[in-house]
Amino acid sequence: MSQNSEHKWVYLFEDGDGQQRALLGGKGAGLADMTRAGLPVPPGFIVTTEACNAYYANGKNFPEGMWEQVIEGLRAVEQKTGKRFGDPENPLLVSVRSGAPFSMPGMMDTVLNLGLNEQTVQGLATQTGDLRFSLDAYRRFATLFGEIVMGVAHEKFERVMERYKAQTEGGRDTDLSPEQLRDIIAAQKQIIFSDQSGLAIPEDPYEQLRVAIAAVFNSWMGRRACDYRRVNRIPDDLGTAVNVQAMVFGNMGAESGTGVAFTRNPSTGEKKLYGEYLLNAQGEDVVAGIRTPQPISQLQEELPAVYEQFRNIVELLERHYHDMQDVEFTIERGRLFMLQTRTGKRTGAASVQVAVDMVHEGLIDKATAVRRVTPEQLDQLLHPTVDPDTDAKVVAKGLPASPGAAQGKVVFDPDEAEEMAREGEKVVLVRQETSPDDFHGMVAAQAIVTARGGMTSHAAVVARGMGKSCVCGASVLNIDYSQQQFNVNGIVVPKGEWITVDGSTGRVFLGRVPTIQPTLGDDFRELMTWADEFRRLRVRANADTPRDAQVARDFGAEGVGLCRTEHMFFGDERLAAMREMILADGVGAREKALERLLPLQRRDFVGIFKAMEGLPVTIRLLDPPLHEFLPNMEELLGELSELKLSLQRAASIRDMDRTLDEIDGKRKLLHQVERLHEANPMLGHRGCRLGLIYPEVTRMQVRAIFEAACEVQGEGVEVKPEIMVPLVSTAEELRNQAELIHEVARQVTGEHGMTVSYTVGTMIELPRAALTADKIAEHADFFSFGTNDLTQTTFGLSRDDSGRFLSKYVEVKILPDDPFQVLDRDGVGQLIRIGTERGRSVKPDLKVGICGEHGGEPRSIAFCHMIGLDYVSCSPFRVPLARLAAAQAALEMQDGAVASDK
């Protein structure tokens, strides 16, 4: 499309195609849809996202022809409303709103009542017969224009308002007199003048419009928008549309009002209209959470006809969009206007409920239901809740704005929240109310608590979108930003103290309260069944104990993909035996210590095999560097120096002797620890390198596995052990260990007179293993990519040490994501692909999976599906998420295949 003066930059609502979200933005597309469906929508037009991009391409100048088309649009609106833009007698007022292709709640700037000036404000008063209303509209315009277009701090205007409101009896906006409003407007203009070095709001409405459209464009590249897009992975080059729409007013008396509503409950998914409204108010009053609004059901009593009309409209919208809608409306003197419709954000629980319900209602098919629930939403469903039996003190109760329990240190400043989170601290952001400027702090926080605002306030909407726990409107909290503390019923809670937030019930607790896992409903199970119908990738769990294995199985795991035997060695008795083994002098002593470990290991394997009856269990042989089991060197040094001090204080010769003995013992231990110390333990003597140097360790572990297998099999339980050799870098290592495994297996099964069917495979977790996978596959029945280590070695990046710079890396976009969270496809993924291809080139039926943390991360799972792995393995609580993500990946590839078939 050539961008000449003929190019169409502006669409009237009635000319727009609701499918063209990319061009018209989400809001514009919804308005066009509703207009074309004949719903009551104030007339208006859309400046396209293309215009926004052209604006940037053009050095921040409107593209040729755009302004002329805006004027044409205005003329059309004038015609429909019978008002004229800038007409002192009968002025047309418009709102100017942003509208990006993806919903970005509260992130973009809006100007209302544009077209007002010292002349038209009089005309509005005459026209409406309401001077106070008219002046209030002018005040709102001046505030928004000053703030958003001209960049004056909100607080400055707010302070003026507070001062004047304090002079009224009711203390509310509506209590302000016309005279006070005039003074306020004058004060605002003065603020703008002194703040902006003599600049002023243009008197010319056209100039107002021009500047406002440019401001919307500019806000696309503002910090908060960029932040939001970064977190939500929305590309920068989509651009935003601008919606210019005739104003309607909810603040024209008792039969006017404004509200927002969801077609279903966005917290629970219940099929019931859900929302809030305020009579005699403008939309921003609801969203900003400054006044606490009424539940939507109340409208049925207050304005029954309007309510009825509204209910019919939203039902129509839901049928049109096949999804739950989030709508905004205004009632102007008893007349309903729809201002927005969009897909409603929802909690995980609601997402599942709505999707399942809509299948039952025949609105969508199963595939759509599976596609629609995001893995993050499902994960949210699995979030912990506060233990109902707790007797911890509830210090505040607010609205249950976003479910889930979370804990963190209290912090009041979003910057500080971000800073502390970067340091690895868990924080809860506590605010009077939140605004888009606080977004980065909300991202960083575990939970959000506000003292003001309702279920659809900024804090609530954003928190639900992020799946973060949130309590809103906890008005009992007396927040003191300057003292960095809040006061609640006489209790002072300073910054840094721990609180626990229960976003499902709205409760706030002091301290760290125990939490428990949720139970899952039938809708969840049904959705999971559907997901299983679509997915190809199998899902296993990483489980080290019989209990983990049971949980995993309950969540639908199809086996254990990673059983870390070393985790079995923690615990007092076990650790002691393990230390004895490590400190053993020579093979004989080591074997003796291993004999003590053998029954402990066997017992664990028995439990896991039983829990996973009939399903494969992949057991990884000992992996970590041995010194992980030994005491910390610095601690030992500290203890030693303490002992030396106490030697000087010794009261008797006997005391002294005993202390000297202790010093001696510590010294010996210290020497051992020093001997085993490694400069880079991650790259040290670990993994199969242990089994190669100490074959007796491998022997013991394999014996424990097969003794357990024989025992369990003897009880009639089917076992499928898969023995996995870790940290292999050359085929020879695997060959060596596999031989040993087969030898011990023969021995033990021979002793029991049994046959156990088992396989031997390896972790592919080093670049060299992936690169030489063809050779390694000769000795392996299966591969399991250990993506944690593979990421560490591919990037040359220690996960333990990367905290210092990795967040900065993501922030300045050196990396798109933390590669330990989201699999790096270009590097690590390339190695996984190479390893899989080469492995299967010599052994076509080689079973290949991954067992790093990425096994529970949706985009990583999609990658695993794409390159044809057999399974992913993740932590037990991520299993449902992995099942869903695997199904979505399969559906997405199917879509791709269909698309390319055409």
Q: By CB under 8 A, name the binding residues for a second copy.
A: 633-634, 637-638, 640-641, 644-645, 648, 678-685, 687, 689, 692-693, 727, 729-730, 732-733, 736, 765-768, 771-772, 775, 789, 792-798, 800-802, 804-805, 808-809, 812-815, 824, 826-828, 830-831
Reduced 3-state DSSP string for 15-84: HCCCCCHHHHHHHHHHHHHHHHCCCCCCCEEEECHHHHHHHHHCCCCCCCCHHHHHHHHHHHHHHHHCCE
Rounded CA separation 874/881 (Å):
10
| Three-class DSSP category at 734 | helix
Q: Least distance in Å: CB of 627 to a second copy?
A: 11
Q: Which is nearer to a second copy, 680 or 900 (CB)?
A: 680
Largest CA-CA distance found in the chain, in angstroms, rounded: 107
CA count, 13 A, side-chain hemisphere, 502: 26
Query: Chain-centre distance of CA 481, in angstroms?
Result: 27
Q: Which is nearer to a second copy, 365 or 655 (CB)?
A: 655
Q: Least distance in Å: CB of 740 to a second copy?
A: 13
Q: Which is nearer to a second copy, 265 or 729 (CB)?
A: 729
Determine the residue type at 623: D
**Cβ contact 44:72 at 8 Å:** no
Q: Where are the beta strands (DSSP E) in 159-309?
A: 241-246, 257-262, 274-279, 294-295
Q: Least distance in Å: CB of 616 to a second copy?
A: 26
**Cβ contact 109:216 at 8 Å:** yes
Q: Which is nearer to a second copy, 157 or 783 (CB)?
A: 783
Q: Least distance in Å: CB of 676 to a second copy?
A: 9
Q: Both tokens of residue 476?
A: 């009992």
Report the relative pairing of strands 241-246 and 44-47 from DSSP bridges.
antiparallel
Q: Tell me which of 440, 458, 854, 865 is the catalytic residue.
A: 458
Residues composing the chain? 902
- Residue 628: closest CA among 690, 586, 706, 544: 690
Task: Look at the block and give the residue holding tokens 């959705």.
Answer: 527
- Residue 261: closest CA among 347, 342, 369: 342
Q: Which is nearer to a second copy, 610 or 689 (CB)?
A: 689
Complete DSSP assignment for 90-142 = SEE-EEEEEE-SS--TTTS-EEEEET--TTHHHHHHHHHT-HHHHHHHHHHHH
Alpha-carbon distance values, 270 to 264, 669, 897 (Å): 6, 62, 36
Q: Tell me which of 470, 851, 864, 874 is the catalytic residue.
A: 851
Q: Which is nearer to a second copy, 775 or 859 (CB)?
A: 775
Q: How many helices (H) and strands (E) does the chain have?
A: 34, 33
Q: Which is nearer to a second copy, 414 or 767 (CB)?
A: 767
Alpha helix segments (H runs only) across 542-687: 546-554, 572-583, 586-611, 633-648, 653-676
Q: Which is nearer to a second copy, 522 or 800 (CB)?
A: 800
Per the annotation, the verdict on 458 as an active-site residue is: yes
| Paired residues of 540 in beta bridges | 873
Determine the residue type at 696: E
Q: Which is nearer to a second copy, 288 or 797 (CB)?
A: 797
Q: Least distance in Å: CB of 642 to a second copy?
A: 9
| Three-class DSSP category at 585 | coil
Query: Chain-centre distance of CA 447, in angstroms?
Result: 12
Q: Least distance in Å: CB of 668 to a second copy?
A: 17
Q: Which is nearer to a second copy, 183 or 416 (CB)?
A: 416
Q: Which is nearer to a second copy, 376 or 696 (CB)?
A: 696
Q: Both tokens of residue 43?
A: 């007339």
Q: Least distance in Å: CB of 125 to a second copy?
A: 56
Rounded CA separation 703/680 (Å):
31
Rounded CA separation 762/764 (Å):
6
Q: Least distance in Å: CB of 794 to a second copy?
A: 5
Q: Least distance in Å: CB of 826 to a second copy?
A: 5
Complete DSSP assignment for 383-402 = --EE-TT--PPEEEE-EEEE
Alpha helix segments (H runs only) across 83-130: 120-128
- Residue 857: closest CA among 893, 885, 887: 885
Alpha-carbon distance values, 452 to 292, 298, 354, 465, 514 (Å): 8, 21, 29, 19, 27
**Cβ contact 823:857 at 8 Å:** yes
Q: Least distance in Å: CB of 822 to a second copy?
A: 14
Q: Least distance in Å: CB of 422 to a second copy?
A: 12
- Residue 405: closest CA among 273, 506, 293: 506
| Three-class DSSP category at 11 | strand
Q: Which is nearer to a second copy, 254 or 645 (CB)?
A: 645
Rounded CA separation 278/722 (Å):
63
Q: Which is nearer to a second copy, 313 or 731 (CB)?
A: 731
Q: Least distance in Å: CB of 90 to a second copy?
A: 57
Q: Least distance in Å: CB of 836 to a second copy?
A: 15
Rounded CA separation 624/264 (Å):
51
- Residue 232: closest CA among 437, 467, 440, 466: 466
Q: Both tokens of residue 821?
A: 């969270």
Kindly list the catalytic residues. 458, 851
